[in-house]
Amino acid sequence: MTTTDHDLVIIGAGPAGLTAGIYAARARMNVLLLEKVVPGGQILVTDWIENYPGFPEGISGFDLAEKMKIQAEELGLKIETAEVHSLNLSGELKEIVLKDRSITAKSLIIASGASPRTLGIGEDKFMGKGISFCATCDAPFFKDKTIVAIGGGDTAVQEAIYLTKFAKKVYLVHRRDELRATKILQERAFENDKIEFVWDSIPTGVEGFFGVEGVKVKNVKTNEEKTIKADGCFIWVGILPNTSFLNDAVETDEFGFIRSDAKMQTSVPGVYAVGDVRDTPLRQIATAVGDAAIAAVSAEHFIGNL
């Protein structure tokens, strides 16, 4: 094989990327992890995590990310701040194009994550302070509180129903006068007396000082505006994979998420996708970590068979 810079390159240093790095470093592979911002990914803006095993009292997203990073670096993982501009996967080696240079690897793990689609209503200001994109993660923090949920698809309705296990009231705001969710989910939502529907409406802003205190909504038919007093706001209007650098280098689904098999391999041999960036039914820290362990071992076997 032609000389290469690394055995393995990992793109993205969220929980998936860091876990893949831990496994690769322990296997004594020549591995480099690339992260365009800082290690941690989305969990850096997660105020408190209670559903990750091993932390019965919970842990902040920042602290969990820091522990993962320290563990990886102590095992010898090299983490570099760099943004990937494009990939060239047509040759024997995988070429990763950065701003100032290109590097090569025998194998590649893509752990670039995904980002919730935002509405521009105050997500930056109130993220972790009442605004959330994950009911499974944050619903327990809103026990006996009032929540505004935004969306009308399967995810929004299913998550709104889940919220009612904790909240005393959930207002589900939808821009149309009917839901897009499957009928069985609609039936469950309509039967739930904790859910009140706010039809034909869109959110226009979030009110509050230290945290969410209310959500402003506008009726798209009458232009009437009002504020719903609430302690939290959950937004489900879609999620976008962080794959702008791919340029069709690997196969994706209709939404842009990378298709991968049970070994996390993509359509290109030796290239793996893990965590939120892949087509997965659940996007959680625990599933990202599991994906990454599988991918790192798969990459090790792939390299060993070259």
Residue 116 pLDDT exceeds 90? no
137 counts as catalytic: yes
Catalytic residue selected from 7, 138, 231, 291:
138
Give the domain ranges of the chain. Answer: 6-115+239-304, 118-235
- pLDDT above 70 as % of the chain: 99
Please give the single-letter amino acid code of residue 16. A
Stretch 171-179: mean pLDDT: 96
Q: What's the pLDDT at 134?
A: 85
Residue 206 pLDDT exceeds 90? yes
134 counts as catalytic: yes
Task: Output Rg (C-alpha) for the chain, integer angstroms.
Answer: 21
Please give the single-letter amino acid code of residue 214. G
Pairing of strands 201-208, 212-219: antiparallel
CATH of domain 6-115+239-304: 3.50.50.60
Residue 296 pLDDT exceeds 60? yes
Token pair listed for 66: 């820091």
CATH of domain 118-235: 3.50.50.60
- Per-residue three-class SS string for the chain: CCCCCEEEEEECCCHHHHHHHHHHHHCCCCEEEEECCCCCHHHHHCCCECCCCCCCCCECHHHHHHHHHHHHHHCCCEEEECCEEEEECCCCCEEEEECCCEEEEEEEEECCCEEECCCCCCHHHHECCCEECCHHHHHHHHCCCEEEEECCCHHHHHHHHHHCCCCCEEEEECCCCCCCCCHHHHHHHHHCCCEEEECCEEEEEEEECCCEEEEEEEECCCCCEEEEECCEEEECCCEEECCCCCCCCCCECCCCCECCCCCCECCCCCEEECHHHECCCCCCHHHHHHHHHHHHHHHHHHHHCC
**83-95 confidence digits (pLDDT tens):** 999 999 998 899 9
233 counts as catalytic: no
Residue 239 pLDDT exceeds 90? no
Catalytic residue selected from 47, 63, 134, 279:
134
Residue 67 pLDDT exceeds 80? yes
**32-65 confidence digits (pLDDT tens):** 999 998 999 888 867 678 889 999 999 988 999 9
Q: What's the pLDDT at 61?
A: 87
| pTM of the complete model | 0.78
- pLDDT above 90 as % of the chain: 84
Stretch 207-226: mean pLDDT: 96
Give residue 1's pLDDT band: very low, low, confident or very high (50, 70, 90).
low
Residue 110 pLDDT exceeds 60? yes
Residue 203 pLDDT exceeds 90? yes
The sheet that has 212-219: what strands, in order across it? Answer: 201-208, 212-219, 225-229
Give residue 2's pLDDT band: very low, low, confident or very high (50, 70, 90).
low
Decide if 6-115+239-304 and 118-235 have a common fold.
yes
Stretch 170-176: mean pLDDT: 97
Q: What's the pLDDT at 270?
A: 97
